[in-house]
Chain A
Amino acid sequence: MKSDEELLQALRDPSCKYDAFEEIVRRYSQPLYLQIRRLVQWHDDADDVLQNTFLKAWGAIASFRGESRLSTWLYRIALNEALTFLTRTKTADSLDEAVDGAARSLQSDPYFDGDELQARLQEAISLLPPKQRVVFNMKYFDEMKYEEMSDILGTSVGALKASYHLAVKKIEAYFRERN
């Protein structure tokens, strides 16, 4: 199996650039999909965001200088795309509709494998502002270090800690209100 560096090298060769990018897509589509899916929650939305992520990456791969790891770079594009999507849909949907729909529909979603409690957690997460949602997912589910998150999101560690703390407080309040 080729390393990321070898794949990036191959991307510069017009005769094998498509094969190299296909290998990158195969390698990273699954982890990126899961990150995106946790943020946008629905398969169709995650599919769109993932496609946009790779299309953006393909368009910008020539300018990728290798200052960060390929996975970090792709992760950053995916998060930006997901954030753009969330911001756009948040302004389009009314908040109440989103809240009422989220947990109920998630449990009936054939591609959701969690129980009622987990569906409720997803509902609580869906109420967070997009940036807090990203921070919460990265910290809570991926157990990522703040330094690593800071590298990906371009936000200071202090701001990330504050953001995570706020997100946890809001989720706690959500469960308190509904118990």
Chain B
Amino acid sequence: MSATIHNIPVRPTGELFKVPDGYFERFTSELMMKIKQTDAAMQREKGRFRAFSKFYERLRPFVSAAAVLLFAVLLSHFFYVAISDDSGISVSSTAVSDNLTDSEMADAYTYFITEYDAFYGIDE
């Protein structure tokens, strides 16, 4: 079929573009190899994710129990601190006081009194 653009018969009778010899055979085999490799990689990824999910499913009750325990500990600590002192700072720590000797406690008390007097300008 002949057609013209601006009176120029340009429509080619055959195909204008050629390809290298054996191009389509090569293209098909290379493409299929690429597809299979990509699929295999995806399967491996899926397998890994599935294994992790399975492991997590087994672990979940323990994780939940640990979370509940941690929450309970934090909650009890919060209440302990709140009840011990209105300012929110616990002043009675048995662990600390047990380790201090009487003289150390007396020193600490003297230091506190001195600082207190100095701060408020109280003379002895």
A residues near B (Cβ < 8 Å) are 18, 21-22, 25-26, 29-30, 33-34, 37-38, 41, 43, 46-47, 50-51, 54-55, 58, 110-114, 117-118, 121-122, 140-141, 143, 168, 171-172, 175-176
Q: In the complex, which of the residues A18, A26, A141 contacts B11, with contact meaning CB atoms closer than 8 Å?
A: A141
Q: Write out, one digit per residue, whether chain B residues 18-35 have a CB within 8 A of any chain A CB (1) or not (0).
A: 111000100110011011
> Would you call B10 and A54 a contact (CB within 8 A)?
no
> Would you call B12 and A58 a contact (CB within 8 A)?
no
Contact (A54, B31) CB under 8 Å given A140-B3, A175-B8:
yes
- Please give, as numbers and ranges, the residues of chain B lying within 8 Å of A112 by CB-CB distance: 16-18
11 additional A-B residue pairs with CB within 8 Å, beyond A113-B15, A176-B6: A25-B32, A26-B24, A33-B24, A43-B19, A47-B27, A50-B27, A51-B34, A55-B31, A168-B5, A171-B5, A172-B5
Q: How far is the CA of A34 from the CA of B27 in the complex (A)?
A: 14
- Please give, as numbers and ranges, the residues of chain B lying within 8 Å of A22 by CB-CB distance: 28, 32
Q: Is the interface of A mostly helix, strand, loop or mixed?
A: helix
Q: In the complex, which of the residues B17, B28, B31 contacts A111, with contact meaning CB atoms closer than 8 Å?
A: B17
Q: In the complex, which of the residues A30, A46, A111, A117 contacts B8, with contact meaning CB atoms closer than 8 Å?
A: A117
- Please give, as numbers and ranges, the residues of chain B lying within 8 Å of A46 by CB-CB distance: 17
In the complex, whether B61 has a CB less than 8 A from a CB of chain A is no
Q: How far is the CA of A118 from the CA of B9 in the complex (A)?
A: 9
* A26 nearest CB neighbor, chain B only: B28
In the complex, whether B14 has a CB less than 8 A from a CB of chain A is yes
> Would you call A34 and B35 a contact (CB within 8 A)?
no
> Would you call B3 and A43 a contact (CB within 8 A)?
no
